[in-house]
C-alpha cells in the first residue's frame, strides 16, 4: 500500500480522472446520435448500436475485473484498460464508417468496464479503512458527476466542434491518468495470481447472461418488448446464462466470479442499497430531460442545465459526507440521503405544463444532496469490513449491480411512461363527446376564438378547434404519465429503507487491514 500524503493524493487524482472519463462516455454519445446518423447515413436501429455495443461490452467484463486484476496485476490491468479506452476514443472519433465505430465502442466498453471497479479497488487499498469515506467522496466526483455532465458536455461540444470531438476530449484526460498511474500506483504484496486454467465456461455464461440482458434492456422498448421474437430470445438467453453463471460460481473450485463476497452482511446490504440508489438516479436522469424537452419545449442544452444543480449539490454533499462518515452513525447519513431524495420525488408529483425552470432545478438540487450522501455512506458501509485481498472481486460485483440497476431503471420508466400515456389518453378521450357539457363548451369557445383570430369559416374553425383540444388531451395524458413514473420511482426508493438497519452502526469504521 502506498505511504505518504502526496502519493495518496496522486492515486486519488489518477483514479478519479479515469472514472470520470469512463462515466462521461456512458452518456455523452446519446445527444450526438442524430449527427452520427447523418455522417454514416444510418437508420435509427443501426445508429443505436453505438450505445448498445458499449453497454453490452461494459456489462460482460465488469464481473471478471477482480479475477483480471489478480491474474495480470491490478496496476497492469488498470494501465492497459485506461490506455485502450483512450485509444478507442481516438478510433471512435476518427471512425470512417459505422462498423468501425461499433468495434471501437466495444473496445471502449470492455476497457471502461474494467476502469471503474479497478479504480475503486486501487483507491480503497491506498487508504486505511478509517479514511475510505473521504477517499470515496473524491472518487464519487467521477462516478456521480460524469453521467450528469455527460449530456451537457456532449451537446455543447457537438454544437461547437462536431460529434467527433466528444471522443477526442478523452485523450488529454487518459494521458494524464496513465502518467499518474505509472508514477504512483503499485500492486499490494498480498495479491496472488489465480492457480489453474481460466474458467472459460464462466466467461461464456457471463457473455450470454449479461449480454442478453443488456440487449433486452436497451432494445426492448423500441422493439415492443415481448411482442418481438428477438427480445423473447434474448430474455431466454439471458436467463439461461445468468442461471448457469450462478451455478458455476457456487460449485467451481476457482470461480471466475466469486459470489462468496456476498456472505459479508455489510457488503450484501450495500449491494442491495446500491441497486435501489442507482435505479432511482438513472430513472430520474432520463425522465426529467425527456419531460422538459418533449412537453415544455426546452432545447437539449437547457434540459442539461436543469440537471446541472443536482451535480453541484452531489459534489457538495459528497465532500461533507466524506468528512462525517467516520464520526456519526452511517445509518443516519443514509436516512438523511433517502429523506432528501423522497422530498425531491414528492415535489415531482406536482409537475405540470406550467412548471418553471427554477422549480425543476430546485428539485434536482435537493435530489443531488441526497445522491451525494447516499453514494458515500452506501459505498463506505459496503466495503467497511471487506478484507483487502477480496476488494477486487467486491468492487467488480458492486459496480456490476450499479450498472445493471441503471439500465433496468431506464428501461422500466421509459416503458411505464409510454404505456401510462396511452392509458390516460384513452380515459381523457372518453370524455371528449357531445354529451359532456364541459367539453362542448371548450370546443365552442375554441372554435369562436379561431374564427375571430384567423378568419376561418365555421366548419374549418371547428375542425381545427377539435385538433387543438385533442392535442391538449395528449399533452395532459403525457404529464400524468410522467407523474405516474415519478410515483413509481418513489415507491422503489421506499424499498431502500428496510435495508438500512442491516448495516453496522459504525460501519464506516472498518477495522480490517490488508491481508487480515
Which CATH number is 467's domain given? 1.20.1250
Q: Which of 316, 315, 318, 302 is nearest to 361 (CA)?
A: 302
Q: Mark which of 136, 166, 188 sits at the end of a domain.
A: 188
What confidence tier does 350 reach under pLDDT thresholds 50, 70, 90?
very high
* Residue 205: strand, helix, or coil: helix
Range of the domain at 175: 1-188
Question: What is the average pLDDT value for the chain, to the nearest integer?
Answer: 80
Question: Helix crossing, 5-25 with 98-126: angle to 10°?
Answer: 150
Neighbours of 315 (CB within 10 A): 18
**The three cell numbers locating residue 209:** 447472461
C-alpha cell at 391: 476488494
Are both 273 and 231 inside the same structural domain?
A: no
Cα(53)–Cα(514) distance, rounded to whole angstroms? 37
Asked if 273 and 236 sit in the same domain, the reply is no
**Is 271 found in the same domain as 222?**
no
**Range from 116-130, 437-451, 464-478 carrying the lowest mean pLDDT:** 437-451
Task: Please answer whether residues 347 and 363 qualify as being in contact, where contact means their C-beta atoms are separated by less than 8 angstroms.
Answer: yes
SS3 398: helix
Rg of the chain in Å (alpha carbons): 25
Q: Taking the mean position of all CA atoms in its chain, how far away is CA 200?
A: 29
Residues 512 and 471 in one domain: yes
User: What is the rounded distance in angstroms from the CA atom of residue 499 to the CA atom of residue 376?
Assistant: 16
- In this prediction, residue 435 carries a pLDDT of 66
Beta carbons within 8 Å of 84's beta carbon, 6+ residues apart = 107, 110, 111
- Predicted TM-score (pTM) of this structure: 0.75
Residue 393 lies inside a defined structural domain of this protein: no
- The answer on pLDDT for 508 being more than 70 is no
For residue 45, being part of any structural domain is answered with yes
Helix or strand (DSSP H, E) at 126: helix 98-126
Same-domain check for residues 450 and 432: yes
> Residue 196 above 70 pLDDT?
no
If one compares 406 and 231, the residue with the highest pLDDT of the two is 231
Of the candidates 27, 35, 1, the residue with the CA atom closest to the CA atom of residue 126: 1
How confident is the model over 139-163, as pLDDT tens digits?
776 666 666 667 677 767 777 788 8
Of 327-331, 352-356, 387-391, 483-487, which range is least confident? Answer: 387-391
CATH of the domain at 172: 1.20.1250.20
pLDDT confidence of residue 512: 37
Whether residues 465 and 505 share a domain: the answer is yes
Instruction: Report pLDDT for 191.
Output: 66
Assess whether 182 and 246 both reside in one domain.
Answer: no
Per-residue pLDDT band at 509 (split at 50, 70, 90): very low
Nearest CA-CA partner of 56 in 222, 228, 238: 238
Higher pLDDT, 323 or 93: 93
3 has pLDDT over 60: no
Check whether residue 72 and residue 151 sit in a common domain. yes
Q: Give the three cell numbers for residue 431.
A: 370524455
Residue 504: predicted pLDDT: 66
DSSP string covering 291-315, please? HHHHTS---HHHHHHHHHHHHHHHH
Given 166, 188, 210, which residue is the final one in a domain? 188
Burial (0-12, 13-18, 19+ Cβ within 10 Å), 292: buried
* CA distances in angstroms from 477 to 172, 472, 514, listed in the order given: 46, 9, 56
Q: Please give the tally of structural domains in the chain.
A: 3
Q: Which pLDDT does position 87 carry in this prediction?
A: 94
pLDDT of 334: 87
Residue 308 has pLDDT above 70, yes or no: yes
Residue whose C-alpha cell reads 363548451 in the numeric block: 441
Clarify whether residues 292 and 335 are in a common domain.
Answer: yes
Say if residue 4's pLDDT is above 60: no
Question: Which 8-state DSSP code applies to residue 223?
Answer: T
d(CA 396, CA 369): 26
Question: DSSP H helical segments within 256-299, as ranges?
Answer: 265-294
Higher per-residue confidence, 87 vs 451: 87
Q: Cell triple for residue 350? A: 406536482
Report which DSSP code applies to 130: G
Residue 382 falls inside a structural domain: no
Residue 218 is assigned to a structural domain of this protein: yes
Overall average pLDDT of the 331-350 stretch: 91
Q: Do 154 and 207 belong together in one domain?
A: no
Cα separation, 161 vs 478, in Å, equals 35
Tens digits of residue pLDDT in 22-73: 877 766 776 677 778 788 887 766 776 777 778 778 878 877 887 788 778 8
Angle at 134 (CA atoms; ends 130, 136), nearest 5 degrees: 105
- Is residue 515 predicted with pLDDT exceeding 50? no
Residue at a domain's end among 188, 212, 242: 188
Out of 105-114, 191-200, 220-229, 487-496, pick the least confident: 191-200
How many Å apart are CA 372 and CA 341, to the nearest integer?
Answer: 10
- Residue 279: how many CB atoms within 10 A of its CB? 25
Give the pLDDT confidence score for residue 37 in this predicted structure: 78
pLDDT score recorded for residue 342: 93
Instruction: Report which of residues 427 and 107 the model is more confident about.
Output: 107
Amino acid at each position: 500500500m502506498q505511504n505518504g500524503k502526496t502519493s495518496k493524493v496522486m492515486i486519488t487524482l489518477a483514479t478519479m480522472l479515469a472514472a470520470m472519463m469512463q462515466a462521461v462516455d456512458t452518456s455523452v454519445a446519446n445527444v450526438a446520435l442524430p449527427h452520427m446518423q447523418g455522417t454514416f447515413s444510418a437508420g435509427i436501429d443501426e445508429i443505436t448500436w453505438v450505445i448498445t455495443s458499449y453497454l453490452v461490452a461494459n456489462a460482460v467484463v465488469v464481473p471478471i475485473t477482480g479475477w483480471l486484476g489478480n491474474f495480470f496485476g491490478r496496476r497492469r490491468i488498470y494501465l492497459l484498460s485506461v490506455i485502450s479506452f483512450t485509444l478507442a476514443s481516438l478510433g471512435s472519433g476518427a471512425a470512417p464508417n459505422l462498423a468501425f465505430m461499433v468495434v471501437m465502442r466495444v473496445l471502449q466498453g470492455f476497457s471502461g468496464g474494467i476502469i471503474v471497479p479497478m479504480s475503486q479497488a486501487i483507491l480503497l487499498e491506498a487508504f486505511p479503512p478509517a479514511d475510505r469515506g473521504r477517499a470515496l467522496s473524491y472518487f464519487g466526483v467521477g462516478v456521480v458527476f460524469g453521467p450528469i455532465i455527460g449530456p451537457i458536455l456532449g451537446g455543447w461540444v457537438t454544437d461547437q466542434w462536431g460529434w467527433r470531438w466528444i471522443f477526442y476530449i478523452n485523450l488529454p484526460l487518459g494521458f494524464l491518468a496513465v502518467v499518474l498511474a505509472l508514477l504512483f500506483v503499485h500492486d499490494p504484496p498480498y495479491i496472488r495470481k489465480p492457480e489453474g486454467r481460466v474458467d472459460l465456461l464462466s466467461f461464456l455464461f457471463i457473455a450470454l447472461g449479461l449480454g442478453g440482458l443488456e440487449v433486452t434492456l436497451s432494445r426492448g422498448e423500441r422493439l415492443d418488448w415481448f411482442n418481438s421474437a428477438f427480445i423473447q430470445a434474448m430474455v431466454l438467453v439471458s436467463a439461461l446464462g445468468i442461471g448457469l453463471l450462478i451455478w458455476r460460481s457456487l460449485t467451481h473450485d476457482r470461480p471466475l466470479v466469486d459470489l462468496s463476497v456476498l456472505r459479508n452482511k455489510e457488503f450484501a446490504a450495500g449491494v442491495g442499497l446500491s441497486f435501489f440508489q442507482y435505479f432511482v438516479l438513472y430513472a430520474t436522469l432520463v425522465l426529467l430531460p425527456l419531460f422538459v424537452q418533449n412537453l415544455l419545449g426546452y432545447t437539449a442544452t437547457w434540459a442539461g442545465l436543469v440537471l446541472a444543480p443536482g451535480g453541484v449539490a452531489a459534489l457538495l454533499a459528497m465532500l461533507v459526507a466524506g468528512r462525517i462518515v467516520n464520526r456519526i452513525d452511517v445509518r443516519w447519513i443514509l436516512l438523511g440521503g433517502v429523506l432528501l431524495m423522497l422530498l425531491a420525488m414528492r415535489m415531482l408529483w406536482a409537475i405540470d405544463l406550467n412548471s418553471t425552470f427554477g422549480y425543476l432545478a430546485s428539485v434536482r438540487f435537493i435530489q443531488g444532496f441526497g445522491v451525494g450522501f447516499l453514494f458515500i455512506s452506501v459505498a463506505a458501509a459496503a466495503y467497511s469490513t471487506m478484507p483487502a485481498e477480496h476488494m477486487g472481486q467486491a468492487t467488480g460485483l458492486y459496480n456490476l449491480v450499479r450498472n445493471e440497476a441503471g439500465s433496468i431503471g431506464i428501461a422500466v420508466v421509459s416503458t411505464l411512461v409510454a404505456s401510462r400515456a396511452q392509458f390516460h389518453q384513452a380515459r381523457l378521450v372518453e370524455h371528449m363527446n357531445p354529451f359532456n357539457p364541459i367539453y362542448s363548451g371548450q370546443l365552442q369557445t375554441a372554435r369562436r376564438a379561431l374564427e375571430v383570430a384567423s378568419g376561418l369559416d365555421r366548419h374549418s374553425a371547428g375542425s381545427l378547434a377539435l385538433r387543438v383540444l385533442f392535442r391538449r388531451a395528449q399533452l395532459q395524458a403525457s404529464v400524468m404519465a410522467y407523474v405516474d413514473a415519478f410515483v413509481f420511482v418513489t415507491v422503489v426508493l421506499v424499498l431502500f429503507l428496510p435495508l438500512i438497519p442491516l448495516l453496522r452502526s459504525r460501519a464506516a469504521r472498518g477495522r480490517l487491514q490488508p491481508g487480515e
